[in-house]
Chains A and B, each alone.
Chain A
Amino acid sequence: MKVRVYVSLKNGVLDPQGRAIHHAIEGLGIHGVKDVRAGKMLELEVDDTVTDAALDEMAKKLLANMVIENYRIERIAA
């Protein structure tokens, strides 16, 4: 089974990368984008023994830094 873990910056945490990307989008001549926040998505291939609790634990302890980031876990049916 595939699991996707989305890691994003918490609200209120300054995102210099998102701001630079936003600036670059405007450089393309495309207007109307109000804000950009950069994050990351990790794709895991797991077997059925990997519980939601285990996914939560790995997200909290390693994949996301809970001081500045949030995460969301999505299981993708094969």
Chain B
Amino acid sequence: MSGFRSAVVTFPGSNCDRDMADALEKISGTAPYRVWHGDADLPERLDFIALPGGFSYGDYLRSGAMAARSPIMQAVVAAAGRGVPVLGVCNGFQVLTESGLLPGALMRNAGIRFVCREVALTVENSQSLFTGGYSKGQRILIPVAHHDGNYFADDATLERLEGEGRVAFRYAEPVNGSSRDIAGILNEAGNVLGMMPHPERMIEAAHGGTDGRALFESAIKGLVDA
């Protein structure tokens, strides 16, 4: 597994960047590059880019809105366009929708409250780079911690996402009012995944579960074998 070249982007206010870097290092065997929001360029020949959770720019204006316009995001958008896998978790998902890499928007939770607990998810697509380690319909337990996780898109977009198998994960219980209980979606090419739940917080027994591990393992294995 050595030689796996990944990067974790840190924005001012990111707070899950260390957890993300730790998960990538533990599972791939190689420490990721740490990239700052103000950097203009990413390291060369990356295999994987992660946008972590947190509250970039204090969630000013809208969650993820400012981060989506930061210098490094232009490089991330370009890399995603070249097919480099990009994973955005929680605030990272919000940054992906705000940057236009994923459709829709993440709005205030329908119940107004911040939700911080483990939730059951259903794996909807087990064929993607990120979800190949799961089986379709599998129930997994992954924690969420967010205020703005209520996924919204117009009906035509939702139909398209469903029809193209781009709903990766769905909540198996009420969480935040998301349209069609969507917890995570893929882009058209399948190399960008955004999700509100935190797989990096479920990778070893000490976390209370390891259901998040297969996401990183399948992505890393898929890339190394390719």
Contact = CB atoms under 8 A, between A and B. Distances in A.
A68 B152 contact: yes
Contacts of A67: 97, 103-105, 152-154
A38 B104 CA distance: 20
A58 B112 CA distance: 29
A14 interface: yes
A39 interface: no
Contacts of A28: none
Interface residues of B, number: 20
Contacts of B177: 14, 16
A9 B83 CA distance: 34
Contact of A17 (B65, B98, B108, B152): B108
Interface string B152-187: 111000000000000000000000010000000000
A39 B128 CA distance: 38
A16 B61 contact: no
Contacts of B69: 61-62
- By size class, the interface of chain A is 10 to 19
Interface string A60-78: 0111010110000000000
B112 A17 contact: yes
B108 A16 contact: yes
A63 B112 contact: no
A20 interface: yes
A50 interface: no
A16 B111 CA distance: 7
A65 B105 contact: yes
A38 B209 CA distance: 40
Contacts of B79: none
Contact of A16 (B62, B103, B109, B154): B109
A20 B109 CA distance: 12
Contacts of B109: 16
B107 A14 contact: yes
Contact of B107 (A20, A61, A63, A68): A68
Given A14-B107, A65-B105, 15 more contacts: A13-B107, A13-B152, A14-B177, A16-B107, A16-B110, A16-B111, A16-B112, A16-B150, A17-B108, A17-B112, A62-B61, A65-B62, A67-B152, A67-B153, A68-B105
